[in-house]
Structure 1
Amino acid sequence: MEKMEHTILETQKGDRIDKVISGLNNEWSRTQVQQWIKNGQVLVNGQEVKTNYKCNVGDQIEIQIPEPVELEVVPEEMDLDIYYEDKDVLVVNKPKGMVVHPAPGHMTGTLVNGLMAHCKDLSGINGVLRPGIVHRIDKDTSGLLMVAKNDLAHESLVNQLVEKSVTRKYKAIVHGVIPHDFGTIDAPLGRDPKDRQSMAVVDNGKHAVTHFQVLERFKNFTFVECQLETGRTHQIRVHMKYIGYPLAGDPKYGPKKTLDLNGQALHAGVLGFTHPRTGEYLEFEAPLPKYFEQLIIQLRNNH
């Protein structure tokens, strides 16, 4: 068991202990931290405390971090929409509503469960829960993902992402009518200091760039194509909100009154990369899902 110590700062005075600790590491959820506190794995000035303990400046926090439990991911037969596959890489079109990789408490029904049943060989670089996963898209975003079937492919695809040489274009419906035809959003992204479960544009965030182009304008909405230069968590969703045009249907970053779509209208339609072994550039395009096409027709009619 690993031990970590932290002294409460002036800025953390009056904050709940569970909030402070979950803020120390992006990987720790508040629920997980609360469990540690209940198990007596968190001491404040040598004493056990409750999860709602309010911190004082100078409090000495000691955290016993439990060893990660190796979880078993069970292969599940699924009807995957595979666009391309060879011995190195696989390109799959993920449906809206499907989670990419398992997490504690959500171990089944994910794309990884389906991939493990479909092919026995996936890169092990990202560990048991994320075999072969090089990049991910959110649960309610549909579209194309590249998957590495061995470590050589994995390293090549990750390097291409780092070098920004992968083509990733998304189609989206946003609130409001964007007046200009093209734009670039260059704004750093990081955890939202007011809500650790969300991302936001923050001064000390990671470099993030999104290019967009207007495809069609409706009465109160705009159909856009966004091209990622970087691939940060929730990048398009946060960037479009930042410039005042949040995604339609987005429960986290959209307005309260939005379209009832069970999640954001966002589709990863184009994916292009250099094949890790042959050096050939491959590009794939997945058409809009049915719900998205119907939404465009509906918005046109309202217009």
Structure 2
Amino acid sequence: MIHSLTAMSKRDELDLRFSLVFKVDEGGILLREFLHAKGISKRTLTATKYDGGDIRVNGIERNVRHLLHSGDEVSIIFPPEEPSPGLLPESGHLTIVYEDEALIIVNKPAGQSTIPSRDHPTGTMANIVAGKFAKERLPATVHVVTRLDKDTSGLICIAKNRHIHHLLSEQMMKFGFHRQYIAFVEGYVEKDQISIVQPIGRKDGSIIERIVREDGQFARTEVEVLHRSEVDGLHLTKIGLILHTGRTHQIRVHMRWVGHPLHGDDLYGGSHGLIGRQALHCAMIGFLHPLTNEKVEFRCDIPLDMKLLTNTEIN
């Protein structure tokens, strides 16, 4: 359970709806204004009122015009959520790195889609997380905060409630999440550190491929060489990357732009000599926890197929 000086979330055995509890430090404020100051949007308050939620002060149901006093305890019980019609709950394996009442961090394997699509309606990470929620009788749906391409492995953040999703999404827009990736690119990257600041946009005539273009969206990627190696005659550079923006295919586009496409990434010029997918892994994700406002970081090691790309170190 997550606790803080100002709020905590809880699910008891009788009521599994997501809830938050706040202590009032200074009185003389309307309940509506107090909740807004705690990040509860007007839309969320409306949904809470009409869709099966509840707002209580010292255990008594109150409307948003109630005047609060110092020492009051305010509880907001969010309405139950239903999975969208296109999200079929399924059973399956999850590698859970962290979980609490607000969110879940999952290590996604390569080859698995994050969310359902027309081509991949089942077997996705979201389908399996929805199945986990259903098994646990949680009245929640899957809110994906960070997603990865189907063939990229690594950490994904999922919120368990639309309010938590809202808080994390706002944080991403204002400050960004701290995300570190590991990749293997083709050729030897000469400089040990590179800062790539190039706008990215959709390639004309394609619904998938992105390119560097002047009218694209601002994108910044920091690159650090970890080591250079030769595997079966192929020159590879293992790099660490930090994303300051989150554009679609940002790492893949930026690395092709500097002449070092990801190994296995045939969409952006890489070859398939040693691995059957782009050699890219999200190894770390960090952000401020939406309830405690404390910095949290989660890490996971690269998978076996990428470890096999480190046979002979050059320097």
Q: Secondary structure at the match of 2:310?
A: helix
Counterpart-to-counterpart distance in 1, 2:244 and 2:148? 15
Find out whether 1:223 has 2:245 as its counterpart: no
Counterpart-to-counterpart distance in 1, 2:163 and 2:85? 25
Task: Give the structure 1 partner of residue 203 of structure 2.
Answer: 192
Letter in 2 for 1:205: G
State the structure with more CA Rg.
2
Q: Secondary structure at the match of 2:143?
A: coil
Please say if residues 274 and 309 of structure 2, whose CA atoms lie closer than 8 Å, have aligned partners that are also in contact: no
Task: Give the structure 1 partner of residue 247 of structure 2.
Answer: 232
Counterpart-to-counterpart distance in 2, 1:132 and 1:282? 19
Structure 1 length-normalised TM: 0.70
Q: What is the CA-CA distance between 1:122 and the residue it aligns to? A: 7.8
Counterpart-to-counterpart distance in 2, 1:222 and 1:123? 42
Q: What is the CA-CA distance between 1:123 and the residue it aligns to? A: 6.5
Structure 2 length-normalised TM: 0.68
Taking a change above 3 Å as real, the CA distance of residues 189 and 276 of structure 1, as seen in their structure-2 partners, is: same
Please say if residues 199 and 238 of structure 1, whose CA atoms lie closer than 8 Å, have aligned partners that are also in contact: yes
Q: What is the CA-CA distance between 1:79 and the residue it aligns to? A: 1.2
Find out whether 1:177 has 2:195 as its counterpart: no
Match of 1:245 among 260, 269, 283: 260
Task: Give the structure 2 partner of residue 275 of structure 1.
Answer: 289
Q: Which has the higher mean CA deviation after the structures are superposed, 267-276 or 157-166? A: 157-166
Letter in 2 for 1:293: K
Task: Give the structure 2 partner of residue 39 of structure 1.
Answer: none
Number of matched pairs: 225
Moved over 4 A (4+): 120-124
Letter in 1 for 2:215: N
Find out whether 1:95 has 2:95 as its counterpart: no
Q: What is the CA-CA distance between 1:74 and the residue it aligns to? A: 1.4
Taking a change above 3 Å as real, the CA distance of residues 79 and 196 of structure 1, as seen in their structure-2 partners, is: closer
Q: Secondary structure at the match of 2:98?
A: strand
Cα deviations by residue, 1:84-110 (Å, 9 ceiling, x for unpaired) = 111111100000100000012421010
Q: Secondary structure at the match of 1:295?
A: coil
Please say if residues 122 and 132 of structure 1, whose CA atoms lie closer than 8 Å, have aligned partners that are also in contact: no
Counterpart-to-counterpart distance in 2, 1:165 and 1:197? 24
Please say if residues 176 and 245 of structure 2, whose CA atoms lie closer than 8 Å, have aligned partners that are also in contact: no
Q: What is the CA-CA distance between 1:73 and the residue it aligns to? A: 1.9
Q: Secondary structure at the match of 2:267?
A: coil
State the Cα RMSD in Å. 1.9
Task: Give the structure 2 partner of residue 164 of structure 1.
Answer: 175
Q: What is the CA-CA distance between 1:264 and the residue it aligns to? A: 0.3
Match of 2:225 among 180, 203, 214: 214
Please say if residues 270 and 283 of structure 1, whose CA atoms lie closer than 8 Å, have aligned partners that are also in contact: yes
Taking a change above 3 Å as real, the CA distance of residues 105 and 244 of structure 1, as seen in their structure-2 partners, is: closer
Please say if residues 173 and 248 of structure 1, whose CA atoms lie closer than 8 Å, have aligned partners that are also in contact: yes
Cα deviations by residue, 1:93-140 (Å, 9 ceiling, x for unpaired) = 00010000001242101001100011245866xxxxxx3111211111
Structure 1: unaligned runs, 5 residues or longer: 1-69, 125-130
Q: Map residues 96-115 of structure 1 onto 2, 5 A cutoff.
A: 96-115=110-129
Q: Secondary structure at the match of 1:102?
A: coil
Please say if residues 167 and 272 of structure 1, whose CA atoms lie closer than 8 Å, have aligned partners that are also in contact: yes
Task: Give the structure 1 partner of residue 32 of structure 2.
Answer: none
Q: What is the CA-CA distance between 1:246 and the residue it aligns to? A: 0.5
Counterpart-to-counterpart distance in 2, 1:237 and 1:230? 13
Q: Secondary structure at the match of 2:191?
A: coil
Match of 1:133 among 123, 132, 144: 144
Q: Secondary structure at the match of 1:197?
A: coil
Counterpart-to-counterpart distance in 1, 2:248 and 2:308? 28
Find out whether 1:81 has 2:87 as its counterpart: no
Letter in 1 for 2:249: H
Cα deviations by residue, 1:159-200 (Å, 9 ceiling, x for unpaired) = 222123311000000011111111111111110115332011
